[in-house]
Amino acid sequence: MNSYNYNDLLKKVQDNIESKPVSDDRFNLPKAEIFYEGNTSVIKNFDKISDAVNREADEILKFLLGGLGTAGERSGSRVIFQGKIRAESIQGKLMDYINNYVICSECGKPDTHLVKRGRNTLVRCDACGAIRPLKSQKRSIEKPSIILKEGSSYDVIIKDIGKKGDGVAFHGKFIIYVPGAIKGSLVKVKIEKISGTVAFARPVES
Ligand SMILES: [Zn+2]
């Protein structure tokens, strides 16, 4: 007969509770060590982070580049992003990745792996067996990354005239000042200097 009396059940429950790891093994992601070199932002310990979450470094990088809207590449244990990106932004995107692609929403553990089901990617937990879809992938990819590079040329529309008489154009998150440009005109400009999200350009002959 396969039934249990109350004491058997109680013992079973207690055994189960005791066999669970003490709940102090919360997931500790190695903090991204970020520093700046020239006009680039570097994560020094990117390999440690990808090891800790057990995901391909390239996959994580792709997510970060999309989210941060910048270009970048891996170099040994590092990742180098174009431009100076606030450490909080990088850290924040990293957490977005981990919350979406790594952490089990049921038990909070990072012991998961990704499973493909048709066109969907699911996160399956090795610890508790829970399975969930990725949270809206579209939103985490955001807009196509719009970048601006010093020395490169872009076609911009002069939307406004600034206080000092310069034409003002917008490109992604950047404001571009173009001296001598006429409001409403389409101008080919060369970016001479970028400071944060403000760029200074001059018109070029197309
Ligand atoms: Zn789980």
Distance in Å, CA 125 to ligand 1 centroid: 5
Distance in Å, CA 59 to ligand 1 centroid: 22
Residue 171 pLDDT: 87
Distance in Å, CA 64 to ligand 1 centroid: 24
Q: Is the pLDDT of residue 172 over 70?
A: yes
Distance in Å, CA 21 to ligand 1 centroid: 13
Nearest to 156 by CA among 177, 184, 176, 186: 186
Q: Is the pLDDT of residue 20 over 50?
A: no
Q: Write the pLDDT tens digit of every residue in 28-73.
A: 778 899 999 999 999 999 999 999 999 999 999 999 999 999 999 9
Q: What is the mean pLDDT of residues 5-12?
A: 71
The reply to whether 42 and 100 lie within a common domain is: yes
CATH of the domain at 99: 3.30.30.170
Distance in Å, CA 15 to ligand 1 centroid: 20
Distance in Å, CA 124 to ligand 1 centroid: 8
**147 inside domain:** no
Distance in Å, CA 35 to ligand 1 centroid: 34
Residue 13 pLDDT: 66
The reply to whether 103 and 180 lie within a common domain is: no
**28 inside domain:** no
Q: Render 80-135 in DSSP notation, one character per residue.
A: EEES---HHHHHHHHHHHIIIIIS-TTT--S-EEEEEETTEEEEEETTT--EEEPS
Distance in Å, CA 80 to ligand 1 centroid: 33
Residue 7 pLDDT: 74
Distance in Å, CA 68 to ligand 1 centroid: 29
pTM for this model (two decimals): 0.55
pLDDT band of residue 205 (cuts 50, 70, 90) is confident
Distance in Å, CA 135 to ligand 1 centroid: 16
The reply to whether 82 and 166 lie within a common domain is: no
CATH of the domain at 178: 2.40.50.140
The reply to whether 94 and 137 lie within a common domain is: yes
Provide the domain count of the chain. 2
Q: Write the pLDDT tens digit of every residue in 115-163.
A: 988 888 899 999 999 999 887 655 444 445 678 899 999 999 999 998 8
Distance in Å, CA 9 to ligand 1 centroid: 24
Q: What is the mean pLDDT of residues 14-22?
A: 54
**74 inside domain:** yes
Where is pLDDT greater, at 21 or 81? 81
Looking up tokens 């389409």, which residue turns up?
A: 186
Where is pLDDT greater, at 12 or 158? 158
Distance in Å, CA 128 to ligand 1 centroid: 4
- Mean pLDDT score across all residues of the chain: 85
The reply to whether 38 and 94 lie within a common domain is: yes
Domain residues for 178?
A: 153-203
The reply to whether 65 and 158 lie within a common domain is: no
Nearest to 57 by CA among 66, 68, 46, 65: 46
pLDDT band of residue 27 (cuts 50, 70, 90) is low
pLDDT band of residue 173 (cuts 50, 70, 90) is confident
Distance in Å, CA 130 to ligand 1 centroid: 5
Q: Of the ranges 4-18, 49-63, 132-146, 189-203, which one carries the lowest mean pLDDT score?
A: 132-146
